Amino acid sequence: MAELPGFKPEDFMKMISDFRVPALFNAEALASAQRRNIEALSAANKVALEGAQAVAKRHMEILQQSMNEMTEALRAFSTQDSPQAKAAKQAEMLKSSYERAVSNIKELADLIQRSNTEALGLLNRRFAEAMDEVKTMVAEAGKKG
């Protein structure tokens, strides 16, 4: 291995052996903070998973409702109505289907948004707490040093 000019491997080893980690942080406090970080991530993941499950459940309900409505529409079109009456029914059905689809999309988007907001809120709160904990640890270490 090539040496850097003016720098010997034994200098590097001496530097590493002389390196002391200042007693800035309480190991127990750090471990506790990490535990709270993991708990916050776990809680955020749980919220996100529950949100995804709620969206999937509602999506299935919407699909089921749509299939039922399509079946009813097919029955309605099989009547002996005049072409004008069938056209009017079809126009009304398309209008109501469109309005329901827009409403369903908005509902699903709101469910997703609510879940994301809650999960991010948990993470943001924990991040703010972690920054306060770091400030406290540094302040305590400054008092000791």
Q: Is the pLDDT score of 23 beyond 60?
A: no
Spatial distance between the Cα atoms of 68 and 100, rounded to a whole number of angstroms: 14
Question: Does residue 96 sit within a domain?
Answer: yes
Strands (E), 7-141: none
| 91 vs 80: CA distance, rounded Å | 17
Residue 11 lies inside a defined structural domain of this protein: no
Report yes or no on 28 lying in a domain: no
What CA–CA distance (Å, rounded) separates 125 from 82?
64
Cα 102 → chain centroid:
24
Residue 9 inside a domain? The answer is: no
Q: For residue 145, what pLDDT is reported?
A: 60
Q: Looking at the domain assignment, is residue 34 inside a domain?
A: no
In a domain, 68, yes or no: yes
Domain that holds residue 121: 43-144
Q: What is the mean pLDDT of the chain?
A: 84
Work out how many domains the chain is built from and give that number.
1
Q: How many helices (H) and strands (E) does the chain have?
A: 3, 0
Please tell me the predicted confidence (pLDDT) of residue 1: 47
pLDDT at residue number 41: 93
